Amino acid sequence: MKNKYHENLATPYWLLDEKKLKKNLSLISDIREKSSAKILLALKGYALWKSFPLLQDALNGCCASGLHEAKLAHETFGQEVHTYSPAFKEEELEEIASISHHLVFNSPAQFKRFAAKAKAFNPLLSIGLRVNPEYSEAPKEIYNPCGLNSRLGTTLLNFDESILDACDGLHFHALCEQSSDALENVLKHFEEKFGKYIPQMKWINFGGGHHITREGYDVEKLIRLIKEFKAKYNVEVYLEPGEAIGWETGTLVTSVLDIVHNGMDIAILDSSAEAHMPDTIIMPYRAEVEGAGKVGEKAHTYRLAGNTCLAGDIMGDYSFDTPLTIGDKVVFEDQMHYTMVKATTFNGIKLPSIVVKKEDGSVEVLREFGYEDFRDRLS
Ligand SMILES: *Cc1c(COP(=O)(O)O)cnc(C)c1O
């Protein structure tokens, strides 16, 4: 592992691989062409805006979850800006409305309070409502927008037909890292509940969570489902994946700072699960480590842990062919989505730099972080 990574780059850093990103984007382009769906990037999952010039041709724009993401989409991506928020604030409405193309409300109450005002700020705005199909195969409750007592989207029981005249589209988001089979099942429930309203809509947004770029995802089925839906209802169909765009496009490169022993060998890295890869704790999931195996699979097993004072700041237990030594690089795979958008400076830990590996193999450091970034988030 020692020679593969640029010894002169200070760890930790995220390393985006342009070639891999382009591979994902060519699949997305293909789906867009064959299905005639419009596909947006969900900034919640991936917002490395300096890479957006690579994304703009493959996508129709971005979906944002509020003012800041909408501004980022408007300033750095262009094209369509779709803004949905669990609840909008009145004082932000003008700015959001004036830079958005679609505005999606979460409840009939917000719709009735703000739809006309938003239209007055931007007459071209297309207005929609997020509905809750009350069916999801999401793997974990924390990622299930259709779970018990969910606040996300309007259930059929809470639907208010008085908004229909001003409503151009319906939005649902019920998937998380899921297949086109799961989409098919969600669509059945969506149509069963809200089908009567679809013919009067201009567009239906199928949300995110489509694991399009994962190996084995049935792309042909996704295309078929979209085409059939469009033919049946004569509406525009939108998808807004986040994770699928950044899926397997880069790594988090860290270094071993020390190795301690307490019932096992523990390597302390110059990164943090809590601060830099929080989903490994929240979801939880186990990130793959380059050249490493499961516990006991290879000769030397270590717990990989973060350099903060949180006891649970642990990436997981891994085995290696050769013993780890101080200064060795430990490289976590697939760290482009839901990492830098979520990272914090908890415990004063330095944020990883953002580095891109270009198609020609050269490497460019896009951003480095320091003490000021820690200080300036506080006061
Ligand atoms: C999170 C989210 C997305 C993106 O989901 P991915 O799992 O990253 O594809 C899209 N739309 C909405 C409304 C979301 O909340």
Q: How much distance in Å is there from the Cα of 173 to the middle of ligand 1? A: 7
Where does a domain end: 216, 246, 276?
246
Give the chain's domain count.
2
**pLDDT > 60? residue 91:** yes
Q: In this structure, what are the phi and psi dihedrals at residue 159, rounded to the nearest 5 degrees?
A: -65, 145
Does ligand 1 come within 6 angstroms of the Cβ of 44? Answer: yes
The mean per-residue pLDDT over the stretch 6-27 comes to: 94
CATH of the domain at 143: 3.20.20.10
Could you tell me if 195 and 272 lie in one domain? no
Q: How confident is the model at residue 8 (pLDDT cuts 50, 70, 90)?
A: confident
- The whole-angstrom distance between residue 123's C-alpha and the CA centroid of its chain comes to 30
**Residue 100 in domain:** yes
Q: What is the pLDDT of residue 236?
A: 98
Question: Mean pLDDT across the chain, nearest whole number?
Answer: 97
Whole-number Cα distances in Å, 164 to 104, 107, 192, 361? 13, 13, 18, 53
**Residue 75 in domain:** yes
Could you tell me if 291 and 242 lie in one domain? no
Q: How much distance in Å is there from the Cα of 194 to the middle of ligand 1? A: 21
Q: What is the DSSP string of 275-338?
A: HH-THHHHS-----BTT-BSTTTSSEEEEEE-SSS-TT-EEEEEEESS---TT-EEEESS-SSS
Could you tell me if 218 and 275 lie in one domain? no
Contact 278, 290 (CB under 8 A): no
Strand partners, 13: 253, 353
**Residue 28 in domain:** no
Strand partners, 205: 171, 238
CATH of the domain at 296: 2.40.37.10
Q: Which domain holds residue 322?
A: 249-375
**Residue 313 in domain:** yes
**Residue 19 in domain:** no
Does ligand 1 come within 6 angstroms of the Cβ of 241? Answer: yes
**pLDDT > 70? residue 40:** yes
Could you tell me if 113 and 215 lie in one domain? yes
Could you tell me if 175 and 203 lie in one domain? yes
Ligand 1 atom closest to Cα of 176?
Answer: 7
Contact 201, 169 (CB under 8 A): yes
Q: How much distance in Å is there from the Cα of 109 to the middle of ligand 1? A: 23
Could you tell me if 297 and 311 lie in one domain? yes
Higher pLDDT, 305 or 139: 305
Ligand 1 atom closest to Cα of 44?
Answer: 1
Could you tell me if 195 and 261 lie in one domain? no
Q: What is the pLDDT of residue 2?
A: 42
**pLDDT > 90? residue 1:** no
The mean per-residue pLDDT over the stretch 88-110 comes to: 98
Could you tell me if 234 and 272 lie in one domain? no
Residue nearest to atom 7 of ligand 1 (CA): 209
Q: What span, in angstroms and rounded, lies between the C-alpha atoms of 31 and 211?
A: 13
**Residue 102 in domain:** yes
Could you tell me if 161 and 219 lie in one domain? yes
**Residue 333 in domain:** yes
Q: What span, in angstroms and rounded, lies between the C-alpha atoms of 230 and 225?
A: 9
CA proximity to 129, closest of 154, 95, 105, 96: 105
Could you tell me if 276 and 338 lie in one domain? yes
Where does a domain end: 185, 213, 246?
246
244 half-sphere exposure, CB direction, 13 A CA radius:
31
Q: Please tell me whether the overall predicted TM-score, pTM, comes out greater than 0.75 for this model.
A: yes
**Residue 146 in domain:** yes
Could you tell me if 206 and 127 lie in one domain? yes
Where does a domain end: 220, 246, 272?
246
Could you tell me if 214 and 293 lie in one domain? no
Whole-number Cα distances in Å, 349 to 274, 278, 286, 324? 10, 14, 22, 22
Q: How confident is the model at residue 139 (pLDDT cuts 50, 70, 90)?
A: confident
